[in-house]
Structure 1
Amino acid sequence: MEETSDLIDDVTVVDVYDIASDIGKECEKIIDLYGADAVTSLMPKVINALELLENLAVNNERENTELSELKSKISQLENDKIEKAEYRQKFEKELEAIEEQWRAESKELLALVSRLQEENRKLVKVQGSSQEPEVISTIDTGSNGDMLQKLQTSLEKQRDEIRAKEKLLQDKCCDMEKMKSQVDRLTNSGRELRRKHKTLQNQVRTLCDERADFIVQLQDQQRDITALRQRLGLAQKENEDLAKSDVSYPSNKVVYDLDDPNRPRFTTAELKDILHERNELKARVSDLEDELETFRPKNADTKFRFVAKPKMQAPDLVPVLNTPVEEDAPVQGPLPYEPDDAPWKRSSESGIRKFFRKIFSEGSSGSSFPRRSLSTLTKMALSATDEPIPV
């Protein structure tokens, strides 16, 4: 189980595409041997499983990145904690050494003071019985002065040592602050680098998707060019056949196709007669309209007028309701044609589907299997449903 979990943690998007490539090659072999029907029901499930694996790999990479960031923060905090503990322990040891030194010096001074007091008492006792008090007092004063001088010298030395220790402690504190600022700066730079790395990964994934789209468009254009070349070859062949035919037509004759609905059907004289008859009919219709207006009642709810129908038919009476005509009538007619490559018509496909489209398009150009089977498999693979896979 541990080995399986380690393998799952190491799966990336590149590994998923490698697996998809291997599966596509195996499917091509199965198609070449048994036909496209052998994998018709299997391909949608395989594609859905690969898409699910791709999403899991993306989530895995993101979680691994967050986990590495948290581990680095934990290690940094542990190092800071260890450094602070060491610095505190060292500081406590130095304080203990200074305190011991002070205790030893204080003991020496107390012993010296007690000894001097004892000597003073002895001297006081001797002073009463001694005949030379001045000499003894002079000797005692000289020895006391030397002792005090030594004590002052030792005190100055200890003060200098304390100042040096305090200065060293301040330097250590400054170094610690500098190290902390440097660690913060390195942490910020590491976070910025991880953000840039994530952005570059997203750009690479986007470029891969765009590359797959461009490859599909290029293959479609190549197929269109091939079809146009075939049509051009047929047109050139028909042109050559027409040029080779020996049928000759006189220069002063015009040939019409009997199946052409727009061919001429009347002579000039017939057209003149038809136009003359049309003008007479228009004049007659105008006279009849005037006569009808004369005999029409004024308060009629409906109006009748003559509407001349095309193709020289007799005028008919058409009832027209007395309704106001709209000035801005709605626009009617066919809508403009929308191109097939419009952005709103593009279906959002995953990278796995585009990858399989590319694999089967490349395989169809070099395989000996019939083209119809490969195109059927490609459509079947790309029209896979988004139903969840039972686990």
Structure 2
Amino acid sequence: MTNLSHKDVSFSEEEFQKHEGMSERERQVMKKLKEVVDKQRDEIRAKDRELGLKSEDLQQQQTRLMKINHDLRHRITVVEAQGKALIEQKVELEADLQTKEQEMGSLRAELGKLRERLRGDPSQNGEQEPEAEPGGEESISEAEKAAMDLKDPNRPRFTLQELRDVLHERNELKSKVFLLQEELAYYKSEEIEEENRMLQPPPIIHPRMSPQPESGIKRLAGLVTNQLLLRQA
């Protein structure tokens, strides 16, 4: 009887020690699990901060792009207005040039009639036409003499100086039209370039995701499996 009671006591102590050992292992497992959870929580918070900073950067980039887009639209509007003004000015200059060319045609016709009349006068009157010194600044052509003769009924409507002035003005108008065409082509090319820039999408910055750490559940499962294997052994 005494031996039996002693055996029961020893068995109870052994079971108690075994139970105490299991509780210690469980506490270690729970401690490791808590460390894993805390570590993952810190990593998640760091990720949240990183994503917040990247979100702010993207918002600032979007604001800059919107401002650039607004400026480009305003600039295109100004360029279009300048282009329309240049086109209107070009049309006016071309109309003036056409008018001057018509005046030049009538002046050439009158000058041709004057030359024919001057050629016919010496043969009819028997007078010899005086020779003018070529290249002399003080020599006056017969057309200018006839133009200065106010009593001549066949006097032309315009003098040679007026012809020169009209020619000079026509050349200036041609130069202005050419410059306007060059400027208009420049503005059109600049407008096309700005439209092409607006059509191109802005580069999208993809945040680089760091590799996801090993799940704490997997670690816990591995630890529990190892503990079970040790117990079976």
TM-score by length of 1: 0.31
Choose between structure 1 and 2: higher helix proportion.
Answer: 2
TM-score by length of 2: 0.47
Larger radius of gyration: 1
